[in-house]
A and B are shown apart, each in its own frame.
Chain A
Amino acid sequence: MRTTPILLLHLLSGAGPLIAQAQLSGFVEYDNITYLKKGNAAKINSRNQGILQLELRHRASGVAEAFGSVEIRADQADPARNRVFLDEAYISLYIGDADIRVGKQIYAWGRADALNPTDNLTVWDFSDILDTDDEKIGALSARVEYYFGDWMVEGVLVPSFTASVLPGVDSRWWPELPATIPNPAYPRLGGPTLAASYTSAESVLPDEGVESTQYAVRLSGLATGWDFSISWFDGFDDLPAIHTSTVIDSTTATAEIVLQQRYHRRRAIGMDFATTMGRLGVRGEAAYYLTEDWRGVDPAIDDPYLQYTLGLDYTFSDVWPDKDLFVLVEWVQEVQVPNRNTVTGGITDLNHVFRKSLFGKVDLSFGEFTKLTLEGVVNLDSEDWWVRPGFQWSVTDGVQVKAEADLLGGPEDSFFGLFRDNRRLHLRLKYSF
């Protein structure tokens, strides 16, 4: 049969110009993470990984564009992290005043820097809590942006639910469950305790089909030096609520606790703004979460709450010759509205790590290619903290070296205190092409 090769040749010759028009880019990255304190042998105690990210962009004309991005990751220390993963794959159409994008895509809503309460469309890979670099997961969705003057209205439809990725049981970020629990027969603290054993029930995900559809709309504008938006999200919490059922055997003083992850619907009214006053940047963001437990009767489900953030940033030029200093501070607070004096989430609930928190970031740039960085957060209510000093150097065009340390501390019953043994060093070498 000669037809097939000839046909193939014909097809390829036609595709040649198309491939030639496409832009291939991406990066190769090597990461090493070393924990300063050796952990439990059953845990993954380091990371030694390589990543190849390939991105292909093709603009067919002024009105259509296609983009795809694939990540190939190999981790010698933790083969469970090996993956070939489609980060994004979408088609964009630019028609008149409307921009339409359909496919797997990442959203980045919100104008604040440290935390974005309005950014509810994109789920995260939290398998490494402190790895904040490129850990968003695209959502299969359709987005329409319509522009009129200095205004833009945006609508997003996400037909199916995807959960955020949580740390595995062999991760150093998986919290150890208490070996004993208070005996409910002795309500006062200090009474005899029960030996606890745990089992996991199958997670309850939103029903597939129309019921799991999520949507969001946003109106953004620009007026006299202010950027702002208001938004509405109707979807699901990408993090599970942990529901427990406990069976107590008084004769043996034991408790068998069944844990089940359930994903609940939530809605959020959001707003954000950004402006500048001279060299001072001012930005803020807030979302009021309307949870499933509006009446506050189920302790496993969040009661409605408001989360807001307010930040300032300033760049001091030439603090020393050719050295600029960038300083950012941002306040984050969570307020239960209406206030029922109930506790929202446990200490490892990632939705509620920052309840009264002060973020900070300082960059000291030595010209364009080298900088010292320092960022961190302190939770004022739980008195725990995280600090990351770092150094970045652009060795040559496209090649970057980054060295960072993660330091954590605080009381045992606080988030960063619980993981205070996860102090670590992180080295990254990245080549972009």
Chain B
Amino acid sequence: MEYVIDMRNIRKEFPGIVANDDITLQVKQGEIHALLGENGAGKSTLMNVLFGLYEPEQGEIYVKGNKVVNNDPNIANSLGIGMVHQHFMLVDKFTVTENIILGKEPTKVGKVDLQTAAKEVKALSDQYGLRVDPFAKIEDISVGMQQRVEILKTLYRGADILIFDEPTAVLTPQEIVELIQIMRKLVSEGKSIILITHKLKEIMEVCDRCTVIRRGKGVGTVDVKDSNPDSLAAMMVGREVNFTVSKGVSEPKEPVLTIKDLVVLDSRKVPAVNGLNLTIKAGEIVGIAGVDGNGQSELLEAITGLRKASEGSIQLREKDITNKTPRSVTANGLAHIPQDRHKHGLVLDFSVGENMVLQTYYHKPFSKNGILKFSPIFEKANQLISEYDVRTPDAYTPARALSGGNQQKAIIAREVDRDPDFLIAAQPTRGLDVGAIEFIHSKLIEQRDKGKAVLLVSFELDEIINVSDRIAVMYEGKIVAVVDPKQTTEQELGLLMAGGKRGTNDAE
């Protein structure tokens, strides 16, 4: 069997660390091959070696049987290797067609020939089932369609080996289903795919074989049909991983957060939250399921004081917190793990220690009469770093230098340590590997067991079903159903999230 990509015993060193150590990756023609590893395991380095961005210290690379001395990114293009990036490389103000042809524009008398280009794009998109509107601007189309544009870009350049870098991280469940269909179609048309991911479910569903790397070392390659999620996770992490979130029965007590008839306008002055009612009790985790853009962000912003509510009320314990400032809401016992940890959760250029007191710096003992007291600040930081196992060289390291999982652990440490009555966790495990996910879920449940109220917002249905005690489905700014996670299925949730009625209960 000929391999389309054959990377043998690759070793790549950086000053101080070995990023890739004896990794072998062999991809067969026409297969979907998973590259599995935790964040920082060396997946990106390996792909950058393949692309010629890094020169390996050891090892050989063969593409379609020919040995490659690959030290120029353009060679990868000419060999037919294309990359679908996780963070899209698109020009927002350009149309789909303009983006696809960028850098390889067909010209007619020195002018870009958009008509011909659009025809080619149309033909490609029909051939592979990649629905796009060639004349729509990138800024106006959905994330899923933007990703299809990225795929078309590689196909337009003649790629027959496609690398997908964490492609589902930004997609809704429906878009993920579509993407999987697209990948199958691509393979049936003779393309080969490398799928970089740490989502085991996707590997089980769509991949043929899987190569696992752990801390820079190649662990091995397995046939997916001979393996299961537990064995793959154990290969990736190096120990047994607990998937089924272990938790006792919840014992909800008095209401902590009460939302009544809430209306919140979005930035276009359209009601994004439209008459929402929700109560969260002490000692329970309520999960909000919903397709992105159904008012979840606006709801959270209204609760946390970042956006004005135009009608209705929000009550935390006995205090009315409607339209209070973020600081006063925080002072009343709310903690928030924000959806976008880089934008909202951390000041990346601050040290880890400075980030640990982002809401409390003005309190004693961290400051006195407006003067910061650094020794209590860093004492606190060191305590949190060890309690929550935040992997950082020290508390003085900029937060930017930490891996995503450790940044999230730092945020959780800070928020939970304030001992809030009510904790909001928005997409708390987005982009994290299984080890970190396990840790974060256990912390959320620990908070619940301490009698706190927890609100979990996530686009991962697995997470919602596994962690929540009650699931509230949000659709067009309202809670349209509240279901018991033990008695529901992904199918039922998916239907409710799309605005459908509940099958059995409303059948009469």
Q: Do these two chains interact?
A: no
